[in-house]
Structure 1
Amino acid sequence: MPDDDAGRGDLWLLLQNVSLAPSDPDKKMRHVIELWAPWLPEDETKERIEFLKLLTTYERTPTARDLGERLRLTNAERQRLELWPFKPIDATDEEIAMQCRARRNERRRAKRGRTRAEYLAACLSSTKPWGG
């Protein structure tokens, strides 16, 4: 990550996520800083880790809308990368809900195998076994 405001913001998002680790989050946060931001001074590293430890889990967990805005995620990128938990900056909650329903319906349709029209066509074209 670059040593600028954008890099520090991205590092903060990453550290928020890593701080939620169930085991040894301090060590993991320190490792992330060493790997992605070796330019960060040791005193600032300690400050960030200590500050994150003071926050509640709720405060460390960004909302889906906040993540989408901070990453400037468009709906096209969200769909291409399948980042379903993030909310894009160019779609409303209603539009996202409609897309979600459409994907769910398509999965269900694919699982069923054939459409209702295909089923009815097959039923109506067969002879009736009880007479005719």
Structure 2
Amino acid sequence: MKKSSKQSSPRPYPGAEQKNEALPRIAEPAAAYAVATPTLHRKPQRVEEKRIAGYAVSDEVWRFVVANDLIPHLETAIRLVHECFPTVSDIQLLYEVDWDIENRSYIVIEIKITGSIALILEQYDRFTLQKIRQVPPEKRDKIILSF
């Protein structure tokens, strides 16, 4: 079999060599390449803990408090806890949803205290009275005390 010395260049599709603007153009696929570099071992960045009145809070608590503009009022309530309950040993801030009442959720200040029932009830009454005086009514029902 004899091969021709003159070879024609291959045509990718019929009419490819025509210079007619009316013909549809076919885009060639493009690929991006990047050189792989080894990752350096870095110390993980320290994520700042969100705190209110010195107490660490969860992201859920933080979002609710910020959305309802409760930070200064929650700080007031925590200060009142320390003033009214001198035996408080632990404070936690929790976010809770009231499933019985639609669209009602609040922050619970959960405290651990010691003392007689009569003394604790007296302290609780003092806390409630001060909370009514110092926290605006529209914010008051979003901050609950539990012991």
Query: Does the pair score TM above 0.5?
Result: no
Question: Could you say which structure has the higher helix fraction?
Answer: 1
Question: Could you say which structure has the higher strand fraction?
Answer: 2
Larger RCO, structures 1/2 (Cα 8 Å, 6+ apart): 2
Q: What TM-score do the two structures reach when normalised by structure 1?
A: 0.23
